[in-house]
Structure 1
Amino acid sequence: MEQPRFNELKVLYQTAFGLAIFTIIYNIAEGLISTYLGFEDESLALFGFGTDSFIEVISGLGIAHMVVRIRKNPDSSRDPFERTALKITGVAFYLLTAGLVVTSIFNIWTGHNPITTFWGVVISLISILVMWILVAWKRKVGNRLDSAPILADANCTMVCIYMSVILLISSGIYELFEIGYVDSIGTLGLAYFSFKEGRECFEKAHSDIHCSCD
């Protein structure tokens, strides 16, 4: 592959940073909307999905910082700011996992079901589309820069797509058939990925590995 010239490198790194900032802003908006609608509609899966979006904001700050770091020195290792952000993100994911599991079991035990999961369907479809575009764009930039950290971030963004698919399936099934416990079962699926993300955050915080999401 032909190596990018200086001006192209500048544009590519600006694009990578812009994608990181967009991801942060998008997750803030998604988190606010999802947690509000999840609370109003009593949909635990949608509320948990929104809470995960807020945690992704912390991760996104670390990614934005990483892009600035590798632009200055592509061969540099993860710095203290990134490691701290990873640890905070990891703790948040573990707390979210515990909360989702406990609340899901409680809802199943009491037979609680959401009022509607319509907005879970809508938000998950939008999220899948947006995240898929982000993954493709990040991979394009990462391949052009031959940057393992940026490619790893693209792979990790795929987890957001998986979680959106879980929300879509659970919300769609409940909205169509009103099958009990589907919302809670979907929430347990989100908890599984939340736990995996938390574990990976601590693995990355204590090493220089990029990502094992792929």
Structure 2
Amino acid sequence: MSSNKTNKRLLDWAFKLSLVTIFYNLIEGGLSTFYGAEDETLALFGFGVDSFVEVISGLGIVHMVWRMKSHSIESRDKFERAALKITGSAFYLLVLGLIVGAVINIYVGAKPHTTKVGAIIALFSIATMYFLYKAKIKVGEKLNSAPIISDAHCTKTCFYLSFILLGSALIYEIFRVPYVDALGSLGIAWYALKEGKEAFEKARTNALGCTDCCS
């Protein structure tokens, strides 16, 4: 198989992985925000909003990979930079909302009805994000593509984020530790802050770090 055909096949797979990431985050975000509000668990609700923000970021990645399929790219276009800026702004708003929500919940002594659904969603997310991370890393390394590898590391961050949700959900459900849900939401806020900062940094940096590897 020629190098061009191999690259085309790998880019097709990268494109499909990007679409799977978007659709999974849409489903995860819908379930998490619904049950987060229903069960009054701020950590799960914040996790769901984070998933929706990841969808915006994912649209930029899909667009980027689609361009890679047509020709070599060396910089982000206007759509990708706009997606990153919107993503960064949304993450910062999420951080603010989670901090305010956590403070209020701690002050009034609010507790979730249950965190079982959060634990279940976290387990599914851990399995899915691990698969997506390994698959994206494999494709990115074969293509020697810095943008795809960077996207894989964003997926790895979601993988770690799922462990925060799982930990807070299990600790509360088993031991009924006060405020652990609020603390879990603050852990999610910390990761969201990092992701927001990284999104703005990427938007300011036009170069992708990938020149002739994505043709």
TM-score (norm. length: structure 1): 0.94
The aligned runs of 1:198-209 (5 Å cut-off) are 198-208=196-206
- Candidates 44, 47, 50, aligned match of 1:46: 44
Shift of 1:156: 1.3
Is contact 1:152–1:210 with CA below 8 Å preserved after alignment?
no
Give, in whole Å, the separation in 1 of the partners of 2:184 and 2:94.
14
Name the counterpart of 1:144: 142
Match of 1:177 in 2: 175
Indicate which of 8, 11, 14 corresponds to 1:10: 8
- Aligned sequence identity (%): 53
- Which residue of the partner structure matches residue 97 of structure 2? 99
Residue 109 and residue 210 in structure 1: after superposition, are their counterparts in 2 closer, same or farther (change >3 A)?
A: farther
* Unaligned residue ranges in structure 2 (runs of 5+): 210-215
Preserved contact between residue 35 and residue 44 of structure 2 (Cα < 8 Å): yes
* Structure 1 Cα separation of the partners of residues 202 and 8 of structure 2: 27
| 1:76 match: secondary structure | coil
Q: Which amino acid in the other structure matches residue 200 of structure 1? A: E
- Given the alignment of the two structures, is residue 131 of structure 1 paired with residue 163 of structure 2, yes or no? no
Hey, what does 1:163 align to over in structure 2?
Answer: 161
Structure possessing the higher relative contact order (Cα contacts under 8 Å, 6 or more residues apart): 2
Which of residues 112, 115, 120 in structure 1 aligns to 2:113? Answer: 115
Partner of 1:89: 87
Q: SS at the partner of 1:113? A: coil
Aligned equivalent of 2:189, options 188, 191, 194:
191
1:22 alignment partner AA = V
Tell me how many residue pairs correspond in the alignment: 209
CA displacement at 1:210 relative to structure 2: 5.4
Identify if the C-alpha distance between structure 1 residues 209 and 112 changes in structure 2 by more than 3 Å, giving closer, same or farther: farther
Q: Which moved more, 1:64-73 or 1:123-132?
A: 64-73
Contact 1:4 1:144 (C-alpha < 8 Å) held by counterparts: no
Q: How far apart, CA to CA, are the structure 1 residues paired with 2:23 and 2:205?
A: 28
Asked if 2 retains the 8 angstrom alpha-carbon contact of 1:21 and 1:64, the reply is yes
Alignment of 1:33-72 (within 5 A): 33-72=31-70
- Aligned partner letter, 1:181: Y
TM superposition score normalised by structure 2: 0.94
1:72 Cα deviation from its structure 2 partner: 2.7
The Cα of 1:71 is off from its aligned counterpart by 2.7
Structure 1 residues 109, 4: CA separation in 2 closer, same or farther (over 3 Å shift)?
farther
Contact 1:70 1:76 in 2 (8 A): no
Q: CA deviation at 1:193?
A: 0.6
